[in-house]
């Protein structure tokens, strides 16, 4: 992958993560918890959300690896938006709604830019071909973020949705996942992450009308 493409993907990734986190906070605020709003986290200013390690060091390290190998995983994270679940009016489903807001925002971004690509002939004009590539990356990155975060592995959003659905009789499963979630997540990223790619490709093609890769 060319270095220019990698830089564009990293920039898109960071802003997409910011949108993801702000959506968590906005949903929590709408459901009665103002924690994120009071801490100034309901802003699209990336400086309020970027984590030095997850937003800078890890992505740059992975970029260097990708440049050396010709491909690889581009991964990172932002500072989670804080929220207090005890402030939510809906104690049963509120945490699941807050968790689902992040991936939902990514899917909405992917859908908007994907449909724009599909119904506007950007590829017909040389001046808009670079815009076509940029929008395609936006769709791809946001689909990746949305699908990845729905995995039911702590601390990903999908785990909070799963915990809301689990009956009380499976409390031990919840505790086990919480205890070993990060280890399971690292294991998944390095051994099974590529399994998500065909699903992302299929959804991308379904929305946009062509395959990116």
147 within some domain:
yes
Residue-level pLDDT at 128: 74
Tell me whether residue 54 is in a domain. Answer: yes
| Band of pLDDT at residue 207, cut at 50, 70 and 90 | very high
**Residues contacting residue 3 through CB under 8 Å, at least 6 positions apart:** 63, 67
| 38 inside domain | yes
pTM: predicted TM-score of the whole model, two decimal places = 0.89
Say whether pLDDT at 54 is over 80. no
DSSP state of 54: I
40 occurs within a structural domain: yes
Residue 213, in any domain of the structure: no
> Which residues are CB-contacts of 25 (< 8 A; sequence separation ≥ 6)?
35, 36, 37, 41, 42, 81, 83
Evaluate whether 155 touches 182 at the Cβ level (below 8 Å): yes
The answer to whether the bond into 155 is cis (omega within 30° of 0) is: yes
pLDDT of residue 86: 93
For residue 72, pLDDT beyond 60: no
Dump pLDDT digits (tens) for 101-144.
999 999 999 999 999 988 887 766 666 778 888 899 999 999 99
Tell me if 34 sits within 8 A of 84, measured CB to CB.
no
Which of 6, 21, 94, 160 is the catalytic position?
A: 21
> Does residue 205 carry a pLDDT above 60?
yes
Burial of 154 (0-12, 13-18, 19+ CB in 10 A): buried
pLDDT in tens, 160-185: 999 999 888 888 888 889 899 989 98
Question: Residue 150 is part of which domain span?
Answer: 3-208
More confident residue, 63 or 166: 166
Alpha carbon distance 109, 82 (integer Å): 23
Torsion of CA 7, 62, 205, 187, to 10 degrees: -160
* Number of domains comprising the chain: 1
pLDDT at 4 > cutoff 90: no
Instruction: Convert 39-78 to b/e letters by CB count within 10 Å (16 or more is b).
Output: eebbeeeeebbbeeeebeebbeebbeebeeeeeeebbbbb
Active site residue 171: no
Q: What is the pLDDT of residues 82-98, one digit of tens each?
A: 989 999 999 889 999 99
């Amino acid at each position: 992958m060319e270095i220019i493409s990698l830089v564009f993907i990293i920039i898109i990734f960071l802003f997409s993560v910011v949108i993801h986190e702000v959506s968590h906070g906005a949903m929590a605020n709408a459901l009665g918890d103002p924690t994120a709003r009071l801490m100034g986290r309901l802003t699209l200013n990336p400086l309020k959300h970027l984590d030095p390690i997850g937003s800078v060091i890890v992505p740059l390290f992975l970029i260097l690896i990708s440049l050396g190998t010709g491909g690889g995983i581009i991964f990172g994270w932002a500072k989670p938006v804080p929220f207090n679940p005890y402030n939510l009016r809906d104690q049963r489903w509120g945490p699941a709604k807050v968790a689902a807001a992040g991936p939902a925002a990514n899917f909405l971004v992917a859908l908007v830019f994907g449909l724009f690509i599909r119904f506007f002939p950007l590829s017909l004009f040389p001046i808009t071909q670079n815009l076509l590539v940029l929008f395609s990356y936006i769709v791809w990155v946001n689909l990746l973020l949305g699908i990845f975060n729905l995995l039911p592995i702590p601390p990903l959003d999908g785990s909070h949705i799963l915990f809301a659905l689990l009956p009380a009789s499976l409390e031990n499963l919840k505790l086990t996942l919480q205890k070993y979630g990060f280890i399971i997540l690292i294991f998944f990223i390095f051994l099974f992450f590529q399994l998500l790619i065909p699903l992302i490709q299929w959804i991308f093609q379904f929305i946009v009308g062509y395959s990116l890769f």
